[in-house]
Amino acid sequence: MTTFALIHGGAHGGWCWELLVPELEAHGHNAVTPDLPFEEDAGAKVWAETVIGALDEAGAGDDVVLVGHSLGGMAVPVIASMRPVRRMVFLGAMVPVPGRVYADYLAENPDAVTFTNDFETGEMNSSGLSWEAARDGFYNDVPEDVARRAWDRLRPTALTVFTEQCPIDRWPDVPSTYILMTEDRAVGPEWSRRVARERLGSDAIELPGSHSPFLSRPAVLADALVTVSQL
């Protein structure tokens, strides 16, 4: 039985995996879904420690697959540098560069982040993201009632992981997989294909749909994750 450590992206919480976890359990696996801290002083190492704490509490051994979504990808290789894991999976995720400030990398790779909050009008919530921006960038193929509930739960996110120097100085020696969504409007699919080949050494796995497959296609995503876990 594999333990999937599901690491959510910016503005979200462990709640965003609630449709995916039963699908993984139906395959005979389990999952941990910690809430990442989003305060200014919480960088990638703090995120990694949070995930490791959840794994320890669950009694997980070494048969762990890390799944980082979106901004959560910034913690994945840091975790793998701190405790044994079997595979790293980047799900429409950022892929940090050891020793570098990610904001500098993004300036050189403007097709990496394609999400925009530039909407003239619309409902706002405490996260600072409008309903229109979230619907367009995160949830454009998610059923509206599910998307609304998700948007209502978003929270403000300090982007410390973008402005700090990556806390690892070399890439962990752990097999890695990139899964992209072909209609992703938050993370550029072309960048994802390129980074999978150049940084992870293999072609990305491509799923249909937009940025949040755990809400729009949880069964399809579970099948993909289980398949990857068996590589």
Query: pTM of the predicted model, to two decimals?
Result: 0.96
Single-letter amino acid code for the residue at 64: V
Q: Could you give the 3-state DSSP secondary structure of residue 181?
A: strand
DSSP state at residue 223? H
* pLDDT tens, position by position, 88-134: 999 999 999 999 999 999 999 999 999 987 655 567 777 888 999 99
C-alpha–C-alpha distance, residues 160 and 44, integer Å: 8
* pLDDT tens, position by position, 21-32: 999 999 999 999
Domains assigned to the chain:
3-229 (3.40.50.1820)
Q: Three-state SS across 88-148?
A: EEEECCCCCCCCCEHHHHHHHCCCCECCCCCCCCCCECCCCCEHHHHHHHCCCCCCHHHHH
Single-letter amino acid code for the residue at 130: S
* pLDDT tens, position by position, 130-177: 999 999 999 999 999 999 999 999 999 999 999 999 999 999 999 999
